[in-house]
Amino acid sequence: MPRCLNTVSLVLFALFLSGCERNQQSPGPKYAPAPLSQTALRYHLAVHPLHNPAKLQQCYQPLVEYLSRELPSFNLMLEPSRDYQNFEEKFRARQTEMLLPNPWQSLEAMKVGYTIIAMAGTAEDFKGIFLVRRDSAINEPSDLKGKSVSYPSPTALAACIMPQYFLHTHGIKVTTEIDNRYVGSQESSIMNAYLKQTAAGVTWPPPWRAFQKDFPKEAADLQVIWETPSLINNSVMVRDDVSSLVREQLQRSLLHLHESQEGRDILAGMETDRFYPASDADYEVVRQFVERFEKEVRPVEQK
């Protein structure tokens, strides 16, 4: 069962940093450029919880506004989700026309009619990283036996599944020999390690880079102790009832975004170098990895 952060000081400090509460009941606000055209179609882009909703808006709202301005045939609205499970409920119900999911969620979204049109960032950047305090006694993976490790969610591919497979390959029985704590967000996973609530906190490079920029004092007390191998990065997906014209316009704009200074600034805010061409077939490597993980470690989705 997922655990919330478990001390008053941790909750207060994490809320100060993140500006939101994890257990809010609403799925989060929807953001749109204003004013909306009265004639253009209105679409929604749901981004999986790379950050808490406030940070997610800061990072991705400029992209949404840029696309709405550059592609006048439709207006785009950003739809954050309060956690991974809420995001997964949305795409399984086909609630949004466009998605930016992690690679495992991409496989799941294919099952309900979404198609990949691009990859967000280099494949090399998609890897898990383990953070420990610099004053920690953790040196080898075996040192985590009997200790707690924090992750955003059991379905976070780079920030949970790949790191747990890393531990598995280093001789740790993940489901029995460590205390796995699923704490709801990348920032919370990092903060658990900083505040010594867990022996290690797991995340992946973009949230860690953002944390270092936003909170350099706290980040200075942490260090990356291990990295997993890379896989393939997050995708951009479009629902099957979106017209081919809109699909092509969106894909073209994303793939050329890095060619202008404005586009490079938007990408920098998302901690993403550029968008790359990609299709459903490119994510077969994820299917193979997940099958191996589920056979050797645990089911991805916790019942």
> Highest-confidence range of 4-13, 74-83, 125-134, by mean pLDDT?
125-134
CA distance 189 to 22: 12
- The pLDDT assigned to 80 comes to 85
Within its chain, how far is the Cα of 267 from the centroid? Answer: 15
Quick one: pLDDT band at residue 175, thresholds 50, 70, 90?
A: very high
Quick one: pLDDT band at residue 279, thresholds 50, 70, 90?
A: very high
**Is the pLDDT at 90 greater than 80, yes or no?**
yes
- The pLDDT assigned to 16 comes to 40
Of 294, 91, 3, 18, nearest to 102 (Cα)? Answer: 91
- The pLDDT assigned to 14 comes to 45
- The pLDDT assigned to 72 comes to 85
When mean pLDDT is compared across 53-57, 264-268, 277-281, the lowest value belongs to 53-57
Quick one: pLDDT band at residue 303, thresholds 50, 70, 90?
A: low
Quick one: pLDDT band at residue 53, thresholds 50, 70, 90?
A: confident
Residue 8 or residue 188, greater confidence:
188
Domain with CATH 3.40.190.10 in the chain: 8-16+125-231, 23-121+233-294
Q: What is the pLDDT of residues 146-156, one digit of tens each?
A: 999 999 999 99
User: CA torsion sign, 163 to 164 to 169 to 170?
Assistant: positive
CA distance 104 to 85: 13
CB-based contacts of 124: which residues, under 8 Å, 6+ apart?
Answer: 230
Largest CA distance in the chain: 61
Mean pLDDT along residues 164-180:
97
**Is the pLDDT at 195 greater than 60, yes or no?**
yes
CB of 84 closer than 8 Å to CB of 198: no
How does the average pLDDT of the chain come out, rounded? 89
- The pLDDT assigned to 45 comes to 97
When mean pLDDT is compared across 14-28, 144-158, 233-247, the lowest value belongs to 14-28
Mean pLDDT along residues 152-169:
97
Fold type of domain 23-121+233-294: D-Maltodextrin-Binding Protein; domain 2 (3.40.190)
When mean pLDDT is compared across 11-15, 48-52, 150-154, 167-171, the lowest value belongs to 11-15
- The pLDDT assigned to 18 comes to 42
When mean pLDDT is compared across 4-13, 47-56, 254-263, the lowest value belongs to 4-13
Q: What is the pLDDT of residues 115-128, one digit of tens each?
A: 999 999 999 999 99
- Top CATH class of 8-16+125-231 equals alpha beta
- The pLDDT assigned to 46 comes to 96
When mean pLDDT is compared across 16-25, 34-43, 203-212, 250-259, the lowest value belongs to 16-25
